[in-house]
Amino acid sequence: MFVRYIKKLIFLIPFLSMCVLAVNSESILNTGIKNKFNEVSIKIIKQGDELNCHLIVTKDNHWKKITFDQIPQYKHFCIRTWVNIDNSLMTSPPSLLVGMLGSSSFYWDENLISQNGKVGTSIDTEVPGIVKTLVSLPEPLIFDGKHLLSGEISTFNLSKKLNTIGYILLLVNERDLHSKILILSILSAIFIGISLILAIIFQLFYWLYQKEISYLAFSMFCLSSSLILVIEQAKFWLDYTYDWHIFRLSTIYSLTFLTSWLLPFFYLLNYRFPHKWLCTIFITLGLIGLSFIAISYDQASTFLFSGALFSALVINAFSAFHLKKGHFNVIILLLSLSFLYFIPDYFNEFGFSLVFIFIVMTMLVSLIKEMHSNKVEALKAERVKTELLRRNMQPHFLMNCLTQLMELIEVKPKKAVEFISVLSDEFRQLTTQSSQNIIGLSEEIILCNKHLAIMSVRYQQSYQLKVNGKTEDIFIPPTILHSQIENCFTHNEISSNRSFQLTVTNTNGNINLVLKTPIEKKIDHQGTGLGEKYIKARLAEFERVNTKTKKAHSCSFESYEESQYWVSKFSFLS
């Protein structure tokens, strides 16, 4: 028990180390930035204003002071900021990095250094620029002292009002920046690769191994997650004009919604939840509600994903409690949620990928476990079948019958022939039934009667099985009643004409079978041996087969002693 938990904790190590790595590389990016402009002066340019914002002599003391992420939308404006250059602190000439949704032209000490799109005074005159600008400053212009960085910007080509459109404005060491972007891209590429491969693997599982809808859901989950990552990373390698940005954001948003929906949906399918469709509707409505509350795309993603993690957590907790599986998922999901809650800053860049990867891992583990248990079940079922044959043709039974036959042949040959025919009847029916998973109750009763006929000859009694209730249209796993009747003779010496009783009740498809077998001179204890195990294995197989064919049966079996009878209760709930 303890060792098992240790093993599971070891599984957490990569998770933790990746968290550390993620946090570290993100902070590398931040500390590597020099001269981040926390404050810029801004002036909105109105129709007819003179364009003198790049001149050093222009006085900007009275201009409004804002931070870069507050730059306005649907406006044409000028921003200015003063930069102190100290060459002794720099290893190489700096570059200007701008990330914003707008067309712009930037000047360094009145010299044009970048032109991104065409700044216009309205949506008609503006040509949209690309979202990211990276230009190196001309070396001769970088001398020690104060410099003016000014930019003329227009932001008319936005189809929708956004929370913020200015993302970044800073001077960077270009080489450092590239190496950092490379690290980020490699990590993302790994995540994307893993998810895509998993998506393919689970498609193959679905089509070639077993048509389990949960495999398909899982494959879709992997695919949509990898698409999110691809589009999320697009800003690094795709230079698109800023009017496409909203399209990109809405795509990410839709994919996030899909992914968030697929996560709990997968768990519902995987655990074969009792009210999975009701739960699915509830989760869908919840996610839609969450996306309405959010004020920005980023927040919506965070909300959606928290919603997904939370519902997955609830599902797993329920399953851990009731179905006794999914304990480890609960831990992972709790960690993911706390990651999301305590370090939200890193979520969109890294948290998402990390959380995703670990959810994927737990899913994979649980799927592999399920496949393993399926395999074990199949093997068990196979063993049960052979066991059944062996049990009923067990040497003792056979040898005892043969002894009877010897006597009959020598004394009453006609009786011997009769006995042989009852015996062969039972064996024939057993051999046929053992290869089936389901038989009619009436067939089972015929088999029981055959066994009782044999026993009647052996003990020179006339044992009878009394059946109360309708036996038509009831299907059960084969030989479960027969096995109990047989057990009755193994565990008892029944030397009187006590009756065997079977009561069948059927209310709305919920079937109860109660079999009473007499107890008389117990040889050994009933109810702990092979018979019990055999019946349980049979029921488990019956359940498994019926779940596949969507006839969601749940079987139960109990047996106990009650006033000189051994009572075996079978219930089949549909």
Partner 1 sequence: MNIVIVEDEPLVLQRTKRLTLEILRLQQPKIQCFTDIDDAELYLAENSIDLLLLDLNLKGRNGFDLLKNNVAAGYHTIIISAYAEKAIDAFQYGVLDFVAKPFTIERLSKAFDRILDKSQRNYYGCRYLSIKKLGVIELIALPDISHIQADGHYSLIHLVNQIEMSALHSKSIEKIMQLLPENFLRVHRSYVVNMNNVNKLLIQPGSQYAVKLNSGVEIPVGRTKYQEVKFYLELKQ
Sites for partner 1 among residues 144-163 (CB under 8 A) = none
Give the shortest CB-18-to-partner 1 separation in angstroms: 59
Task: Determine if 456 is a binding residue for partner 1 (CB under 8 A).
Answer: no
Q: Nearer Cβ to partner 1, position 472 or 524?
A: 524
Q: Report the alpha-carbon distance of residue 433 to residue 443 in Å, rounded.
A: 9
At 470, list the tokens.
Answer: 């309708």
Give the shortest CB-538-to-partner 1 separation in angstroms: 23
* Interface segment toward partner 1; rule CB under 8 A; list 25-33, 71-79, 195-203, 454-462: 454-462
**230 with 257: CB under 8 angstroms?**
no
Q: Nearer Cβ to partner 1, position 83 or 485?
A: 485
Within 480-562, where are the H helices? 480-491, 530-548
Sites for partner 1 among residues 272-331 (CB under 8 A) = none
> In the chain, how long is the greatest CA-to-CA distance?
133
At 292, list the tokens.
Answer: 């309405």
Q: Report the alpha-carbon distance of residue 530 to residue 524 in Å, rounded.
A: 13
Number of Cβ within 10 Å of residue 395's Cβ equals 9
Strand 565-573 with 510-518, pairing: antiparallel
Task: Determine if 457 is a binding residue for partner 1 (CB under 8 A).
Answer: yes
CA end-to-end span of the chain: 35
Do you know the residue count of the chain?
574
Among 27, 179, 210, 403, binds partner 1 (CB under 8 A): 403
Task: Determine if 91 is a binding residue for partner 1 (CB under 8 A).
Answer: no
Task: Determine if 413 is a binding residue for partner 1 (CB under 8 A).
Answer: no
Give the shortest CB-17-to-partner 1 separation in angstroms: 58
**67 with 40: CB under 8 angstroms?**
yes
Task: Determine if 393 is a binding residue for partner 1 (CB under 8 A).
Answer: no
Task: Determine if 454 is a binding residue for partner 1 (CB under 8 A).
Answer: no
Q: Nearer Cβ to partner 1, position 61 or 460?
A: 460
Give the shortest CB-444-to-partner 1 separation in angstroms: 26
Among 39, 69, 345, 493, binds partner 1 (CB under 8 A): 493
Task: Determine if 414 is a binding residue for partner 1 (CB under 8 A).
Answer: no
b/e burial code for range 16-48 (CB count within 10 A of at least 16 → b): eebbeebeebbeebeeebebebeebbbbebeee
Give the shortest CB-416-to-partner 1 separation in angstroms: 10
Taking the CA atoms of residue 22, residue 26, residue 27 and residue 30 in that order, the dihedral angle to the nearest 10 degrees is 180
At 549, list the tokens.
Answer: 């064919």
Give the shortest CB-447-to-partner 1 separation in angstroms: 22
Among 523, 530, 552, 573, binds partner 1 (CB under 8 A): 523
Give the shortest CB-458-to-partner 1 separation in angstroms: 5
At 457, list the tokens.
Answer: 């000859």
Task: Determine if 399 is a binding residue for partner 1 (CB under 8 A).
Answer: yes
Give the shortest CB-404-to-partner 1 separation in angstroms: 5
* Interface segment toward partner 1; rule CB under 8 A; list 158-166, 287-295, 341-349, 394-402: 394-402
Q: Nearer Cβ to partner 1, position 267 or 419?
A: 419
Task: Determine if 460 is a binding residue for partner 1 (CB under 8 A).
Answer: yes
Q: Nearer Cβ to partner 1, position 343 or 405?
A: 405
DSSP 8-state assignment for residue 513: E
Among 400, 432, 496, 499, binds partner 1 (CB under 8 A): 400
b/e burial code for range 320-344 (CB count within 10 A of at least 16 → b): beeeebbebbbbbbebbbebbeeee
- How many residues of this chain interact with partner 1, rule: CB under 8 A? 23
Among 2, 525, 550, 563, binds partner 1 (CB under 8 A): 525
Give the shortest CB-428-to-partner 1 separation in angstroms: 22
How many alpha carbons lie under 13 Å from residue 171 in its C-beta half-sphere? 23
How many alpha carbons lie under 13 Å from residue 45 in its C-beta half-sphere? 21
Going by C-alpha positions, the residue among 356, 369, 16, 34 that lies closest to residue 175 is: 34
**491 with 525: CB under 8 angstroms?**
yes
**188 with 234: CB under 8 angstroms?**
no
- Interface map 342-381 toward partner 1 (x if CB under 8 A): ----------------------------------------
At 495, list the tokens.
Answer: 């030397």
Going by C-alpha positions, the residue among 231, 256, 261, 225 that lies closest to residue 356 is: 225
Among 459, 464, 465, 518, binds partner 1 (CB under 8 A): 459
Separation of CA 83 from chain center:
51
Q: Nearer Cβ to partner 1, position 91 or 460?
A: 460
Task: Determine if 407 is a binding residue for partner 1 (CB under 8 A).
Answer: yes
Residue 271, SS3? Answer: coil
Task: Determine if 395 is a binding residue for partner 1 (CB under 8 A).
Answer: yes
* Interface segment toward partner 1; rule CB under 8 A; list 68-76, 173-181, 191-199, 520-528: 520-528
Within 239-351, where are the H helices? 245-270, 276-293, 297-322, 327-342
Among 458, 536, 544, 569, binds partner 1 (CB under 8 A): 458
* Interface segment toward partner 1; rule CB under 8 A; list 64-72, 137-145, 383-391, 457-465: 457-465
Task: Determine if 408 is a binding residue for partner 1 (CB under 8 A).
Answer: yes
Number of Cβ within 10 Å of residue 277's Cβ equals 9
**138 with 86: CB under 8 angstroms?**
no
Task: Determine if 420 is a binding residue for partner 1 (CB under 8 A).
Answer: no
The footprint of partner 1 (CB under 8 A) covers: 395-396, 399-400, 402-408, 410-411, 457-460, 493, 495, 521, 523-525
